[in-house]
Chain A
């Protein structure tokens, strides 16, 4: 009877050891989306002046270029905020 119990316990433990799964546990996680579709577009090139440009053309071109910069900076800020927040979320899953 003792031998049978020992044999059964040994077999049980062998089963436990052989079925042991490797860590970490496999789960499905999709890559987080971009903050918005607009943020996936590259920044446009800056506008240039034509030869013989008037003062108002210069002012308009500079105005347009500054706006382009701020639009682009807005995208960069989106990605910075996105990264910091996503990192926090990712770390909370561990």
Chain B
């Protein structure tokens, strides 16, 4: 059944109609054989074979309808998925743009504050002594929990 998925629609349809066609031709031949006494002995066996071939063809025709319905369903679903993938890509580029702008603003703000520190805070470097306990408290809080 899995192999059916790899056969193009047209070939599958052609194969099924060919089987039914061969069966019908053989059936007609079996009728015509009645007019040729020399071959009349093959009439019954050819008719039986033709009926089996027709039945096989009809059986596959029933399956073909389901196969085509499934392929159509898969085609519709794949279309929806393709649209969703395109939307997802658009969304990612939009998010990346938004994130980059925000990141840039963060970077600029960091530089502005750095300049302010250099200009204003360094004045107090010699007057304000930072005790080691403060450094320890800061470093402990900056350390990620393990």
Contacts and interface: CB of A to CB of B under 8 A. Distances in A.
A71 B77 contact: no
Interface residues of A, number: 61
B44 interface: no
Contacts of A32: 85, 88, 92
- Chain A interface helix/strand/loop/mixed: helix
A16 B65 contact: yes
9 contacts: A19-B64, A19-B66, A29-B81, A29-B85, A33-B92, A36-B96, A54-B125, A56-B118, A56-B125
Given A28-B78, A55-B130, A78-B98, 20 more contacts: A8-B55, A11-B55, A11-B58, A15-B60, A16-B65, A19-B63, A19-B66, A27-B77, A35-B95, A36-B92, A46-B144, A47-B142, A49-B138, A55-B121, A56-B117, A56-B122, A56-B124, A58-B138, A63-B110, A93-B80
